[in-house]
Amino acid sequence: MGLDRIRSGPATAIGLVLLSSLLYSLGYALSKRLIETWHFDAMQLFVLRSLLVLAGLVALQITGVRRLSLTRLLSPPQAWTQRLAAAALVVSAVFAMIGYGHLPVTTATAFSYTTPLLVTVLAATLLRERIPIQRWVAVVIGFAGVVVIVHPAAGGAAGGTGHLIGVGAALASAILYAIQQMIIRHSRDSMTTADVVAQAAIVGLVLLGGAMPFVWRSVPLSAMLLILAATAAQTGGLLTIAAAIRQGQISRLAPWQYGGMIWAMALDLVMFGHTPGAVALSGAVMIVAGGLLSQIRLPSRLKPVEARR
């Protein structure tokens, strides 16, 4: 899709990450509304989302906006690697919806945004990325900001308003999402953003389709409109984060994903009437500080020595 042709660079990658966090937060906030109001199962919501995505891909094919190869859809490059990434994303998304259904948006996002910390650790151990010390500090600061936000004084889950199922689901979602990001980064030369979206939709239908007779609920028009909006937001979030990962070093981008906490607090206020207090706002400042610190390049004392050699 067009995001693959955007000029690469650190600023572009960071902008895509911030946009992705906004779209994901909006999409999951809408999913929370759907679960609370119409009592939809998370699996049904993902199946509906997959059907809408595939319908959109077919529409692009028919209108000629983008030519999509049926062969590539059914047998993409490194097919099993792409399907593994898609399966991780599907299960992660279902867990995320469960988490958001049981927790306030800010709290669910806080638990799910342990992903950047996990991504940095995985990037160092699996991708052999060199992680400067200040970037480790940046991730820790950002994660500390998340902890501050979910502290009882901030009105988070730890004060008894959360639910054990929601907490467990949000953490499981974060782990699987980190794995999916690592696979995308590892296979970035063969996996396009269109592949990521299409394979998630196809694998989602395969994995979850069998459960539909047991969880399906009728979908009124008002709910369908919200499902369309949630699908557009979540698909946009997936496209932008996939494009960002393909452009930037994954550990450098990780702290910026904490920016989703800021969007989550705003959505909690606007959509659900949860007002963040001073403690939560201080946590947001820590998150932003972590993102900024990750971009600072500390001078190395080894460079002058190497130059003289």
């991730």: which residue's tokens?
A: 139
**What pLDDT, on a 0 to 100 scale, did the predictor assign at position 240?**
87
pLDDT value at 194 more than 60:
yes
**129-156 pLDDT, tens digit each:** 788 888 888 888 988 888 887 766 555 5
- Distances in Å between the Cα of 224 and the Cα atoms of 29, 45, 154, 285 are 15, 10, 34, 36
**What pLDDT, on a 0 to 100 scale, did the predictor assign at position 208?**
96
pLDDT value at 9 more than 60:
yes
- Distances in Å between the Cα of 177 and the Cα atoms of 86, 134, 174, 202 are 10, 24, 5, 18
Q: What is the mean pLDDT of the chain?
A: 81
**What pLDDT, on a 0 to 100 scale, did the predictor assign at position 243?**
79
Whether the Cβ atoms of residue 199 and residue 83 lie closer than 8 Å to each other: yes
pLDDT value at 209 more than 70:
yes
**What pLDDT, on a 0 to 100 scale, did the predictor assign at position 200?**
92
Distance between CA 217 and CA 212 in Å, rounded? 9
- Angle, helices 133-150/278-293, rounded to nearest 10 degrees: 170
pLDDT value at 242 more than 80:
no
